[in-house]
Structure 1
C-alpha cells in the first residue's frame, strides 16, 4: 500500500443544524434524531467490513456523515467542509 492510500478507520454520524432550529446545538446526532444503541456500532461495522475488503480511500481514513435536511432525501453529497485531509465529510 502506498503512503497516500488509507483504509477507513472510523465512520461517525452527525447532524447539520437546520435553518429553523432554535436552542442549543452541538451537532451530535442523538440530540436531534432518535438513535438506538446500535447507531455508532453500525459505522464501526461498516468501517471494519471496508477494511476486510481492503477498500482503499486515498488520503482520508475517517468518514463523517452529516444528516441534513438541506439536500434531497436519499442523496449523498460530498461536503464542502474541510478541516483535515484525513477526514471526508458527506452530507
Structure 2
C-alpha cells in the first residue's frame, strides 16, 4: 500500500481511453494549491489509494458510468503509480473550469471520488470529509506533520 502523494485535476472532451490523447491539466493555481493541501493532510494520516499514489481526476463531458468511474485508459506501464478517475460534468460547468468560481465544486467532486473508491475502516467517509474541510478552511494556515530526512533515518 502506497501513501497518497498527489491529487491533480484534468479535463477532456474526448473519451479517456488508450489510443486517445491524455486529458489536459488546466491552469487554476488556486485549485492546484488546495488539492495539494488536501493530499498533504491525507498523507499525514497515512491515507492510501491502494497500489498507486497519484490520483488524477479527469472532468469530462463524455458519458461515464454512474457519473464517476475509474478510467478505461487502464494502468500506464511507464507510470504505474498514476490512475485516472473520470467524472462526467455538464458543458456549462466544463466551460467555467479556468475560473475561480469552480473551485468549491471541483473540491466536492474530488471528495466524492475519495469517498466512493478509497474509504476503509480506518479512513472512513467522515475522516475524508474532515481532512478536506480542514485543508479548505485553514488554507495557508493549515498545520501538517511531515517527516524530514536527517542522515539515513527519517524523523517525525
TM-score normalised to structure 2 length: 0.42
Greater RCO (Cα-Cα under 8 Å, separation 6 or more): 1
- Where does structure 2 lack aligned partners over 5 or more consecutive residues? 16-22, 87-156
Indicate which of 17, 23, 27 corresponds to 2:24: 27
Larger radius of gyration: 2
State the Cα RMSD in Å: 2.3
- Where does structure 1 lack aligned partners over 5 or more consecutive residues? 20-25
CA distance in 2, matches of 1:51, 1:71: 32
CA distance in 2, matches of 1:9, 1:78: 18
Whether 2:76 is the aligned partner of 1:79: answer no
CA-to-aligned-CA distance 1:59-86 (integer Å, 9 cap, x gap): 10101111101136x9321112231321
Moved over 4 A (4+): none
Q: Hey, which of these two has a bigger chunk of helix by percent?
A: 2
CA distance in 2, matches of 1:78, 1:27: 17
